Amino acid sequence: MIGIIGAMEEEVADLKKMMIVHDTVEQASMTFFRGMLCEREVVIVQSGIGKVNAAICAQILIDKFGVDTLINTGVAGSLNAEINIGDMVISSDAVHHDMDTSVFGDPVGQVPRMDTFAFPADEALVELTRVVNEEVNPDIGTFVGRVVSGDQFISSQEKKEQLVRLFGGYCAEMEGAAIAHTAYVNDVSYVIIRAISDKADNSSHMDYPEFARRAIDHSMRLLVSLIPRIS
């Protein structure tokens, strides 16, 4: 079973229109749409924004629906000068950039007493996603790299430079690491797909509304081609 999570309604609305809905389940103020999409059994849900919402959502998908593959789709801000608005970032792994117990000697981003610093995505799923995106979205760049997540919208150059320096992040957003963390502790596969909608700097407030729709369109094209090919 594949679980598809988008933080915002516009990130999953088109997918829900395409699916054959068998039933809906309400839990934790979220509506889970279970049915068929591209001839595969899926559950699609809008989690809400932020890491807590995303983690709750992912755990419900695993516990209630038996999901063994999590796909998190959405938009993000670029942290890499080579990654432009409209390009796609596919997670190699994910880190909580706002976790900080460095006063106790931990590196910034390390969840205390966790046996990993970054939560690795499923390598085969990442590679498949990369190949499919290059096929269906040849007009944009495809990048595989680290997603960094925190409960803040990155809009300053200073913060952007910090995230690159500390984490080598490719993009910044607000849910992916929580989903990756949940997948890791439950031993299920995941991948984060992030279409770049802004440059995560002082231009964010100008770029975001204009480019978010185009970014979501690219994600849609990727997902409808990817889902049938997931083994």
The closest of 67, 52, 226 to 135, measured between CA atoms, is 226
CA distance 88 to 151: 21
The terminus-to-terminus CA distance of the chain in angstroms comes to 10
From the list 87, 93, 122, 198, the catalytic residue is 198
Annotated catalytic, 11? yes
Q: Name beta bridge partners: 220.
A: none
From the list 11, 122, 201, 207, the catalytic residue is 11
Angle at 46 between CA 40 and CA 48, to 5 degrees: 155
The CA distances from residue 222 to 141, 166, 203, in Å, are: 13, 30, 27
User: Could you list the active site residues?
Assistant: 11, 198
